Chains A and B, each alone.
Chain A
């Protein structure tokens, strides 16, 4: 049997796992591993500019491809810098393996240089973690880490490896396990047939049904089945922020996003529904608003791969634990075999009601923002980009107003195209995530929708884009303030803008982009918006930073009334309430 050092074993095991790309940053405790990477071919390593960037890039890569993202960092600050990105992946259930160097085994616990307890620090935000004590264990640990990260409800897994374990001198037999069985980990598979039958009967009896689909449908590759189900029944569908693209955004059955900034029609339909089919969604507080007032007349069917997500905040009448794919497939088969059909006249009435809501306040039946004047409205920027990219770009985003505008106005027809930090709400996510997507899909159009606040949280990654020639579009909706913070302060703090405005301190983003070797473009007037955006998107081989000055007074609407409103209680504009 071949003898390998710990460092070489790690790299070989990653190759055997099918890894082709790692995002990372070297440092003392990881140097043996980095040397092993230097001496191999097969795995490409992208050097980021900050470990947070590495995690977000790997995350973007994972979301766009469905594969597990891989990160390599050193001990101490390398490890702690990765924490935000690990937490981001954890909240959104993204498969990721983070390998961190650790100080040598005999120094652990001695407050050694660049020592931090990575397993301890990351414990609340990982699906699992390993501290490797013997080099011989590396192949099995790698196999387990990828298995755990990518199955069941996916999530990040940390492998912490002390430096002595990867030393190049000691060599051991390399033994990569072909198969894996873990007695303590059996991810959910098929759903309970009896429960699925109950769910189908309940669905068929519905008079005011809504299908509420979340990120689990995207992650679990269930979009096609969900679409088939909804179209077969002719039931309305709403997606969560994480689920956008799980159902085609331009289809007439799509009600738009639901929740805090969901559409009037989606939130109102949910509130009045008699049956809700929740698929791969977790009744997040940004969806339900006040749980005690949530959809008072609705029976809830809840399909999720994670039993702990079921009946956590909203009690499910028909809980089904299983993968989205297998459960939807069984539901469809039962529906096809069943002679019963939904009550057509009730469904027609329901659609009539929904269309009325759409006409009154829907986001897609008329512009719900100002359409005169010279000031560019953020909503129309997103609509323009949707049009110019034929609705087919990969769109990453940061966090804030621009994120909500992108979610509302870029109507995603395909899953894995909308890539944002939904659960943790991590500013700084967009740019490194875009680079991860671009690395995975070099020929695809990748747009990072951001704001002048978020972009400055990971702007150093502009340099990574230069080094590896990853041309993306950065669409900065510049309102010279932390827009969402400002919106809340204006709505709930009598306009006291505590630390949410930049005054004259913003950099010249055009010059900044140019300093990194990219192109910059500023758009300030409404009449030049389409022309300049078209020009920018015609450039395929360079990163373009598009700095769009938008109306700084604009708020995101609808906005659910907090803290004690129901789903249908919304602000529709600065002055209008439901």
Chain B
């Protein structure tokens, strides 16, 4: 049988598993890559929390291996490296590959009814560029004079040779550049694939919301990763080639540059980056809440519109990261207003999620628990954003642990929960094995409870005035009586770290020895659920023709008494119940 529009199946090991152009193999590569880096970045977080709770005590077991010269004690410069690389790794090498690299690659062709990405070769190049970026990033940890220690934001002049003489910082900038290039390649591929390769009948309003989230993320990737790329290239030029884009005239050997230029460039990228990470998670949970509440996604078009609004507005709120930098009052007030406006589409998404599960029939599976968890942590993180969007409260809270708590909940915890939900949901289709549900639920609760404690106590620390990026909060007298908050945070953080071992165990065990997955384990109607698990090389025997939306759960027009229907199956009486959700009357309450 010929499968049009697909490259022939490779036979050699290297072509099949390593230098593959198959989107499903690349998705798995991204997944493994991301999970390994999440483990490394998470371990760094453990070391950070250890140092903060027990300043100057040797880190147990691993410490002696990693820092033999100090007997396992984390030194201030090492500590700075740890939080710098924790941020860089988690964002660029952990979450981005898992959320966007893995699930973008897996979901886009599978859910729109295509046999592969539109340019499979570019897809492979995207992964190997990321691999190169990861290698450079890892190598930067090993060079003499030390790794990058200017924070993941890498503000000059601390990140220029004025503050960081070692080559680690240069390699860090190059790594971020390479990772950015990888994301741009992926983004172009995703956008083009979604526009060009949708199966017949897969109209824009029949796309699963996952695809919408991925589509907007890809647009932001293509628009804003070039900005961080240029900022990094200027930094590399400053560091290695004697230019002075970021070095002001007042300094010894100073030029005519301005360190604030970097902050603008960084945050023009940096704020959209938050949405780059959260939009895929929003897409997943918008679908999963509907799938497991057995109810259509409430207000499909409004949800898509809200995501679009966030995408557009994300470019014009970045100034709220710079309220204490010395922005003019007029700019400050403008950015404050714009930041508050971007909360409106966020609120609308919440209404729609809460409305979707209202009067549903909730199946509290692991992906559903993680989706509900996302709503909880994003709610907490989003609401506390109000303190930071408001300049007069941000002045006190800026660069304290309040900010750390806030962005971890919104950008880290929410997108991580979204990623976990997606892993539990698509694992059966990707690997043909089910993840263990009992361990999955244990993993959820063992993650959710300590995570909430960790970041809520961080809010408390920030509220009390504890600055972030301090090696030791007991050094200055003013902060010494806040140490109990650090101890509490660390205790919860260790439990949070330990809980991930449950996932690691479950993932490894299920990958090879788990129960064989049925074709449609979750009883939903998206296109990927109609093909065998694991998905065959060519994806679809014949390209399907789509006639129904993805969320027709509990529709009375579904034949055979089921509460779901494949997107390729027509509803019983199409005249009475049109399939386009936007045209659906609000009958049958």
User: Do the two chains belong together in a single complex?
Assistant: no
